[in-house]
Amino acid sequence: MGRQNQITYHEDHQEQNFKVTLAETGWESMTGGRVKRIEKYIDCDNFMVTYGDGVADVDINKLVDFHKSHGKLATLTAVQPVSRYGILQVDGEGSVKKFIEKPLLDGVASAGYMILNRRIFDYLGGDDCVLEEEPLQRLAEDGQLMAYRHDGFFFAMDTYREYKYLNELWDNGEAPWKVWE
């Protein structure tokens, strides 16, 4: 007996114009290999990809508008990371001159929300292709990679500790990423 696929919508949804494809990309495939494996399902110029381990209040419409405005092949959503630790400024003798609790770090990091043009597939190899290595580096070198700056909420859920924290925010009605009613 085969498994039957089903999607159930709970409550009213106002979203009208979207398409979601779930594709098996292989247990051992790396990030670039996974994207390469979905090529046969992409029937439009631009598509979205996310890792699924970050929670954010990214305005998707603004992200799409930004991507369309520049005409490049790829857009990453960029956030300013916060240090997980308090940072010490220490002199040569070990005296703490300054303490900053979990400061914003220099630079920006990818939040993992991407819009890609289908020409990205030319940059991807097989299952061992790591998107964050050669493909994104080549896109940057070719001037085809843009960053959409997101100054709102972003939090990566990479550990059990982060999972507990995000669930606590949700349970307490304090989830900044919940932007719907």
pLDDT, tens digit (0-9, with 9 covering 90-100), for 134-161: 999 999 999 999 999 999 999 999 999 9
- Pick 31-171's CATH classification: 3.90.550.10, 1.10.10.60, 3.40.50.150, 3.30.310.50: 3.90.550.10
Q: How confident is the model at residue 1 (pLDDT cuts 50, 70, 90)?
A: very low
Percent of the chain with pLDDT over 90: 65
Q: Residue 62 contacts by C-beta under 8 Å, 6 or more apart in sequence?
A: 148
Residues 50, 56, 57, 61, Cα dihedral to 10°: -10
* End-to-end Cα distance, the chain: 39
Which residues, in sequence order, are bridge partners of residue 99?
88
In 3-state terms, what secondary structure has residue 162?
helix
Percent of the chain scored above 70 by pLDDT?
90
Provide the residue ranges of all domains of the chain, joining segments of one domain with +. Answer: 31-171
pTM for the model stands at 0.81
What is the Cα gyration radius of the chain? Answer: 20
pLDDT digits (tens, 9 = 90+) for 29-62: 999 999 999 999 999 999 999 988 899 999 999 9
Distance CA 83, CA 98 (A): 15
